[in-house]
Amino acid sequence: MAQNVYDRPEFFTGYSQLGRSLHGLAGAAEWPAIRAMLPDLRDLRVLDLGCGFGWFARWARENGAAHVLGLDLSEKMIARARQETEDPSVEYRIADLEHLVLPEASFGFAYSSLAFHYIEDFDRLVRTIHRSLLPGSHFVFTIEHPVYMAPTNPGWSTDAEGRRNWPLDRYSVEVKRVTDWLAKGVVKYHRTLGTTLNTLIAAGFAIRRVQEWSPTADEIARNPDLAEEVDRPMMLLVAVQR
C-alpha cells in the first residue's frame, strides 16, 4: 500500500493552506501550461488519478466531460471533494494507485497531478492506465521533476557570487527518497527522466509533449517567489496518447 501521508493531521492541515488548495487550479502556477496540453474533453469519460479536493474533476465536467471518476488514497481528500461537488456525474472513490484495478477500454482521457512520485511500481500503474483507455485516448500527468527529487538533502545554497545552487547527487540511483515536507518522513520514489519516458513507451504510449516546467517572465512579475524555479525545474509535465 502506498504511504497515506495526506491523512496525517499535520500534513493535511499544511496542504490545505497551499495556494493550489485554497484557490484550486488557478492557484497552481503550472496550470496554464497543463491546460495547453489538454485535449477537448467534451463527451469523454475522464479518469482523475490522485484527485485531491476534486478541482480538476469539477473543471473537466464544466468543460464538457460526460463523466469523471476521481480516485485518491486519502479519505480526508475524498471527503472534501465530495463535500464540494454537487454534480452527480462526478464520482469519487478511495483507491490505492499502487494496486489499482480498472475496467479495460473504459475512459477517453486520464489525468494526474503530482501523484505518481509517491508510487513505487510506476510500470504497473502505467500499464493499468493504458489498458483502461480507449484507443487514441490522451493521458496527461505531472510529477515532481527528477532533478528536484534526486538530492539526498534538497535545498538551495548560495555561492560566493550570490548565485543559487541546487544539489544533485545519486541521480541514477532509483530508490525511494524520504523527505520532510509538511510532515516528517514523506516517502517518494525517484526515477530518472529516461526511466519515466521509457516506461510509458514500453507500455504502448506515444509521447506527444514533455515540458520541464518553469515560470514565464509575466508569471514571475506577478509572483516573485517563482523566480527560483527558473534555476531548477520543479515539475515535469507529460502528455502521451494510447
Map out the domains of the chain with their CATH numbers. 40-150+169-241 (3.40.50.150)
Could you give phi then psi for residue 116, rounded to 5 degrees?
A: -70, -20
Which residues contact residue 86 at a Cβ distance below 8 angstroms, ignoring those fewer than 6 apart?
Answer: none
Calculate mean pLDDT across residues 191-217: 96
End-to-end CA distance of the chain: 27
- CA pair distance 191, 85, nearest whole angstrom: 34
pLDDT at 1: 57
For residue 174 the three cell numbers come to 532509483
At 62-86, the pLDDT tens digits run: 999 999 999 999 999 899 999 999 9
pTM of the model: 0.90
What are the tens digits of pLDDT across the range 88-111?
A: 999 999 999 999 999 999 999 999
Q: Comparing 11 with 146, which gets the higher pLDDT?
A: 146
List, in order, residues 6 or more apart from 39 with CB less than 8 Å away.
109, 138
Can you list the positions of beta strands (E) in the chain? Answer: 45-49, 67-72, 90-94, 107-113, 133-144, 157-158, 164-165, 176-179, 186-189, 206-213, 235-241
Is the per-residue pLDDT at 162 higher than 90? no
